[in-house]
Structure 1
Amino acid sequence: METKEYIESGILELYVYGLLSESENDEVNAMANKNPEIKTEILSIEKAIINLSSSFSPFLSHSQFEKIKAQLELKHGKVIDLKSRSNTATYVGWAASIVLLIGIGFQYSKLNESKEQINTIQTEKSKLQETVVNLESKNKTTETVLNVIRDENNTVVALGGQAAAPTAKAKIYWNQQTQVVYVDASGLPEPPEGKVYQIWSLKLQPQLTPTSIGLLGNFKDNSSKVFAVAKTSGAEAFGITLEPAGGSASPTMEQLYTLGKV
């Protein structure tokens, strides 16, 4: 095998890492002794590993090492120098530990990213479910409004503006058979804070007799401005007044916004 092929085979790296058998080590040693290029490559690999490991390990200067060595010789006699292969094995161990720590850190980071992605997906799912519920509610409201407008059994009563609000207007949809009443309040201004619209079923004969059939609560939140109120029978007219929150026992005529006869 040529020198280049031998170097590129990867056997020298395994030699430096201490992963070869004894016979394979002897073979590499023999090749290195005969071929300076192979020996240089081995030193180069060892140097690379040492540089990697030393960047993460405490630094011990040559002078400090000699002082420690001298002290040991005084106490215990001659200190036997460790072979470079042992030092290399130590550095390889440090490098392997560093690589392991980096791998653990990477896996931990990926785990956190996965958890964040799961939380994001759950949040988006909750938002989507909320949107679906809102759409279903709006669709039901729209369907109800259309059914009210299209019901040929409904009597439509137009309510015109009065002195308190000349431009105000509204419509009553009243099914005289079922006595169900809906109010289209889209022509009314938003009530002031602390005020509410109250709907009155009126009998004109033999005298004016008003009966409250409901309040238009949550006026701002009702986008369609169509409200279902209490049933009524025998009405001859309908009126809407602006009352204090909670409604009044009788209509405040000074705050009569709309009125219309059946």
Structure 2
Amino acid sequence: MDIKAYIESGILELYVAGQLSETENQEIYDLLQQHPELLQEVIEIEQAVVKLTAAASPKANGFSSIKERLSTNDTKVVELTPKKTNWISYTGWAASIILAAGLFWTLNQKTELEQQIQTAEIENQYLETQIEDARADLAATKNLLNVIRDKNIIAVPLGGQGDFASSFAKVYWNKADNTIYLDAEGLPNAPKGKVWQVWSLTLNPLTPTSLGTIEDFNTDENKIFSIANANKSEAFGITLEPEGGSTSPTMEQLYTLGVVAAAP
């Protein structure tokens, strides 16, 4: 790019005066970021505008010349020749004001445009995130519905036990892929320092096998959890255990229990 020719073209003066289109303003703004020589030229133009505005202010004309032409002793009428107005001075002054006003408007428009673009980008990113989250939730919901509506799925209700009779849960067991889907909406949030632990049970003899703890129970909105289960389960139970889980269930903290129905 020929910097000198670009400066001599006069387009930077029009830029400072705010006489260019929004597209042209943006193009020059981008060039200023790339070429320090152009930026320095714009700064010097702006400084010249400020000096021109201060220097071009019209000075008030004195009345001393008129007083000298008036004679208090002479009765004849003295013709007063009006002083010619310095229109060049006024024109330069007016042009400077217009130029300064144009510069202020242009800078103000740039700031507002940048703020609007930034706001639009943030809103667009937020909207895209919301759309992706909604799509993911919809896909997960469809998948879950397909699972629990499968004719081969085994549904096991888990009723409340002892002092926790109001608690409930439900297990959907898919033996084909050794997975259970636990709907634990009927359980309260785990207290601080505690965690829910899920158990697979065989009844004769009674043998519990841990299926793991639900670490994110309190933060999960749906309260539906997918858990691997390759055991020959005859029942499922849920207990409240210390963080990290226990090697065997704490029976005093057995909240729900449900027996797998025998095949007809």
TM-score by length of 1: 0.66
For the aligned residue pairs, the C-alpha RMSD in angstroms reads 2.8
2:234 aligned to 219, 236, 252, which one? Answer: 236
Question: What's the secondary structure of 1:243's corresponding residue?
Answer: strand
In structure 1, what residue type is equivalent to 2:219? D
After superposition, what is the alpha-carbon deviation per residue over 1:63-89, rounded to whole angstroms, capped at 9, x for unaligned? Answer: 7999xxxxxxxxxxxxxxxx9557321
**Change beyond 3 A, Cα 1:116–1:54:** closer
User: Could you say which residue in structure 2 is the equivalent of 1:152?
Assistant: 151
Partners of 2:84 and 2:111 in 1: CA distance: 41
Contact persistence 1:156–1:174 (CA under 8 A): yes
**Change beyond 3 A, Cα 1:58–1:157:** same
Runs of at least 5 residues in structure 2 that lack an aligned partner in the other structure: 1-51, 66-81
User: Could you say which residue in structure 2 is the equivalent of 1:123?
Assistant: 122
Partners of 2:89 and 2:117 in 1: CA distance: 42
Contact persistence 1:196–1:247 (CA under 8 A): yes
After superposition, what is the alpha-carbon deviation per residue over 1:131-184, rounded to whole angstroms, capped at 9, x for unaligned? Answer: 112101211221132122201111111111111411111111112233211111
User: Could you say which residue in structure 2 is the equivalent of 1:221?
Assistant: 219
Post-superposition shift, 1:239?
A: 0.5
Partners of 1:65 and 1:152 in 2: CA distance: 112
In structure 1, what residue type is equivalent to 2:250? T
Runs of at least 5 residues in structure 1 that lack an aligned partner in the other structure: 1-52, 67-82
Q: Does residue 1:104 correspond to 2:103, yes or no? A: yes
Percent of aligned pairs with the same amino acid: 43
Question: What's the secondary structure of 1:185's corresponding residue?
Answer: strand
Contact persistence 1:214–1:230 (CA under 8 A): no
In structure 2, what residue type is equivalent to 1:248? S
Partners of 2:96 and 2:58 in 1: CA distance: 18
Post-superposition shift, 1:258?
A: 0.5
After superposition, what is the alpha-carbon deviation per residue over 1:156-213, rounded to whole angstroms, capped at 9, x for unaligned? Answer: 11111111411111111112233211111111122222221110001122x2211111
User: Could you say which residue in structure 2 is the equivalent of 1:211?
Assistant: 209
In structure 2, what residue type is equivalent to 1:190? N
The structure having more radius of gyration, on CA atoms, is 1
Contact persistence 2:58–2:93 (CA under 8 A): no
User: Could you say which residue in structure 1 is the equivalent of 2:198?
Assistant: 199
- The 5 A counterparts of 1:43-62 are none
Partners of 1:174 and 1:249 in 2: CA distance: 23
Stretch of structure 1 that moved more, 122-131 or 55-64: 55-64
User: Could you say which residue in structure 2 is the equivalent of 1:181?
Assistant: 180
TM-score by length of 2: 0.66
Partners of 1:141 and 1:177 in 2: CA distance: 19
User: Could you say which residue in structure 1 is the equivalent of 2:170?
Assistant: 171
Contact persistence 2:53–2:96 (CA under 8 A): no
After superposition, what is the alpha-carbon deviation per residue over 1:88-147, rounded to whole angstroms, capped at 9, x for unaligned? Answer: 211211111111111111111111111111111101101101111210121122113212
In structure 2, what residue type is equivalent to 1:235? S
